[in-house]
């Protein structure tokens, strides 16, 4: 399985602490040695760094560890190949343009038979089931809406498409259009929202901790989504399978579930499914 | 004006020597301080590095100068903004997917009124006339062909579209689908083919030279296209306005002109217009 890392914040935020924990799993502490990629949004555009080399030994990953690229929305992925060879074309996150916005997507899991689904506008460059599913999602969104719909309408449609793909296998996914970071949990995904009062956090994968109270402002808010918790001393929430989180302004703005929410509180970053 | 640099080779080639000459012009030796970008092809995919910072002071440019990313096709651009603010979204090269291939494009010049041309499938993410023209070109190619056509047919169509855009202003352009590197000269573009026997080359913009005989194999062949010559002791060819060069396997495989060729010799890298 691959590992996902997503971040959405209300102020440009440095992801290096979380990313260094993830990168260690890329051939270092973990088996995910088949490449990595990361996208940093800047408005409707994003800059990408891809490397088919293991993240733990990648010069690009080392560069990213040494230089802060602050962003409101970040999607990162480290790969353990199961569908498609190890190559740049198969390295997540994948990207396409839709409605004059850069869309970015990373997937963890396997989707049986998804490559048999015919595509219309978008075509995969690589050979992964993941990229085929991404092209299909964007095809569906393009066919359904003429232009970027309201957040609530897009949230519902992304959930509907994600749930459809999840029926074909394991579909844990991060997706962004630069306005919202979507995180769909098909099987395994956790999240954590950091707002004031900020505290200390210690990485699970390396002996490294940070005191966010010294790094942040009183109004800063950031939500991190990852395949598994990255820190040992913070209260990560395990996302219920079938749930799509829509992250905006650093918090869970909406959470769409396969079954109705059992309790309120999304605005406070509490998972409602 | 911006500056363009393109490279096409028959073996994965390190562009750092030429790129370092270009990067010096990005706020160092030149006025092109409004960002830079570079794309390295790997099959049908490409990896990108973009930075709205001046190339001469960019940490990313420094990283690229320290680490060789060998590629068969490279497109680089340093920007002096004239249409569109300085931002990541307006930083060349631009990219889109068509027929399951990553297309990359960089433009030097200005196109009056191009943004009034309606678009169909592709939409600009930024606000430059350059990106609008790129979206229009891909729209036209998508409408004209169902799948990637033969090199000769695509060469003719890319020339037809380029010549059309050149009538709207200044259109010097680099474009690639990973199979061919296209270089259209609307006003100012030079090229140079390096094959055995290789010799010494000295950069114009900094005190740096390289002996390619020590760096290359006897069968290596690489063609470099740039806004102006990058070296002082090599025989650069000034491309005639209205000419599209189609570079494959490191050489000029085809050259389409607005008027008939006056002499032969494209295979030997001699400009035929």
**Is B248 within 8 Å of B267 (Cβ atoms)?**
no
**pLDDT value, residue B29:** 62
Question: How many Cβ atoms sit within 10 Å of the Cβ of residue B112?
Answer: 12
B119 touches chain A (CB under 8 A): no
Written as six digits, the tokens of B232 are 């002082």
Cβ contacts from A onto B, under 8 A: 69
CATH number for domain B3-271, candidates 3.40.50.10890, 2.60.40.10, 3.40.50.970, 3.60.20.10: 3.60.20.10
Torsion sign, CA atoms A156, A160, A166, A171? negative
Q: What are phi and psi of B109, to 5 degrees?
A: 135, -170
Token pair 């490294």 in the structure block, residue: A208
Shortest Cα–Cα distance, B116 to chain A (Å) = 16
Residues 6+ apart with CB under 8 A from B62: none
**Is A181 within 8 Å of A173 (Cβ atoms)?**
no
Q: What pLDDT tens digit does each residue of chain A (273 aa) get?
A: 689 999 999 999 999 988 887 777 666 666 667 888 999 999 999 999 998 888 778 889 889 989 999 999 999 998 776 777 888 999 999 999 999 999 999 999 999 999 999 999 999 999 999 999 999 999 999 999 999 999 999 999 999 999 999 999 999 999 999 999 999 999 999 999 999 888 899 998 888 898 888 888 889 999 999 999 999 999 999 999 999 999 999 999 988 876 544 444 443 433 444
Q: How far apart are CA B14 and CA B81, in angstroms?
A: 28
User: Is residue B272 scored above 50 in pLDDT?
Assistant: no
ipTM: 0.91
Q: What are phi and psi of B85, to 5 degrees?
A: -65, 170
Contact list, A123 vs chain B (CB under 8 Å) = 97, 99-100
Q: Tell me the per-residue pLDDT of A231-252, one tens digit each, with 9 for 90 and over.
A: 999 999 999 999 999 999 999 9
Residue B133 Cα to chain centre, angstroms: 15
Residues 6+ apart with CB under 8 A from A66: none
- Tell me the C-alpha to C-alpha distance, in Å, between residue A170 and each of A99, A163, B56: 28, 10, 46
Q: What radius of gyration do chain B's Cα atoms show?
A: 17
B68 touches chain A (CB under 8 A): no
Break chain A into its structural domains and give their ranges.
3-271
Region class of A249: left (phi > 0), else alpha (psi between -120 and 50), else beta: left
Contact list, B101 vs chain A (CB under 8 Å) = 125
Written as six digits, the tokens of B142 are 């998508």
Residue B163 Cα to chain centre, angstroms: 16
**pLDDT value, residue B27:** 64
Mutate to test the interface with B, among A36, A40, A45 (most CBs of B within 10 A): A45
Q: How far apart are CA A111 and CA A67, in angstroms?
A: 36
Q: Tell me the per-residue pLDDT of B242-260, one tens digit each, with 9 for 90 and over.
A: 999 999 999 999 888 765 4
Q: How far apart are CA A181 and CA A4, in angstroms?
A: 13
What's the half-sphere exposure (Cβ side, CA atoms, 13 Å) at A32?
26
Return the closest-CA partner of residue B191 out of B107, B104, B105, B250.
B250
Torsion sign, CA atoms B20, B53, A41, A210? positive
Shortest Cα–Cα distance, B57 to chain A (Å) = 14
User: Is residue B267 scored above 60 in pLDDT?
Assistant: no
Q: Give one DSSP letter per residue of B55-105, joined into a string.
A: GGG-HHHHHHHHS---EEEEEEEE---SSS-SSGGGPSPEEEEETTEEEEE
Set A2, A191, A221, A257: catalytic member: A2
Q: Tell me the per-residue pLDDT of B217-241, one tens digit each, with 9 for 90 and over.
A: 899 999 999 999 999 999 999 999 9
Q: In what order do the strands lie in the sheet with A101-108?
A: A94-98, A101-108, A172-176, A181-185, A243-248, A251-256
Return the closest-CA partner of residue A245 out of A171, A169, A175, A145.
A175
Q: How far apart are CA B264 and CA A30, in angstroms?
A: 58
Q: In what order do the strands lie in the sheet with B221-226?
A: B45-51, B36-42, B71-78, B3-13, B221-226, B190-195, B237-238
Residue ranges with strand state E in B160-236? 172-176, 181-185, 190-195, 200-202, 209-211, 221-226
Q: Tell me the per-residue pLDDT of A134-166, one tens digit each, with 9 for 90 and over.
A: 999 999 999 999 999 999 999 999 999 999 999
**pLDDT value, residue B235:** 92
A102 touches chain B (CB under 8 A): yes
Pairwise CB contact (< 8 Å): A59 & B44: no
Q: Is B191 a catalytic residue?
A: no
Shortest Cα–Cα distance, B264 to chain A (Å) = 37
Pairwise CB contact (< 8 Å): B88 & A43: yes
DSSP state of B121: S
DSSP state of B238: E
Return the closest-CA partner of residue B203 out of B173, B224, B182.
B224
Mutate to test the interface with A, among B53, B70, B88, B178 (most CBs of A within 10 A): B88
Q: How far apart are CA B50 and CA A237, in angstroms?
A: 35
B30 pLDDT band, cuts 50/70/90, is low
Q: How far apart are CA A27 and CA A72, in angstroms?
A: 28
**pLDDT value, residue B265:** 43
**Is B148 within 8 Å of B91 (Cβ atoms)?**
no
């Amino acid at each position: 399985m691959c590992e996902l890392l997503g971040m959405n914040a209300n102020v440009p935020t440095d992801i290096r602490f979380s990313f260094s924990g993830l990168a260690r799993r890329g051939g270092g502490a973990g088996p995910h040695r088949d490449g990595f990629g990361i996208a940093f949004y800047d408005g409707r555009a994003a800059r990408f760094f891809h490397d088919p080399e293991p993240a733990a030994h990648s010069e690009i990953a080392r560069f990213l560890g040494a230089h802060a690229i602050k962003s409101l929305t970040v999607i990162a992925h480290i790969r353990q190949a199961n569908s498609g060879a190890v190559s740049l074309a198969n390295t997540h996150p994948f990207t396409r343009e839709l409605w004059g916005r850069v869309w970015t997507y990373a997937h963890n899991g396997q989707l049986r038979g998804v490559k048999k689904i015919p595509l219309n506008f978008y075509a995969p460059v690589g050979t992964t089931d993941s990229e085929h599913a991404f092209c299909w999602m964007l095809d569906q969104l393009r066919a359904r809406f003429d232009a970027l719909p309201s957040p609530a309408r897009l949230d519902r449609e992304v959930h509907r498409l994600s749930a459809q793909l999840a029926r074909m296998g394991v579909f844990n996914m991060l997706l962004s259009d630069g306005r919202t970071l979507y995180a769909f949990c098909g099987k395994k995904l956790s999240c954590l929202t950091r707002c004031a009062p900020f505290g200390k956090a210690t990485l699970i994968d390396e002996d490294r901790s940070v005191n966010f109270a010294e790094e942040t402002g009183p109004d800063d808010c950031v939500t991190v989504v990852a395949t598994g918790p990255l820190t040992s001393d913070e209260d990560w929430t395990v996302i219920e399978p079938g749930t799509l989180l829509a992250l905006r302004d650093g918090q869970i703005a909406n959470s769409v579930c396969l079954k109705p929410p059992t309790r309120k509180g999304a605005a406070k970053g509490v998972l409602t499914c």
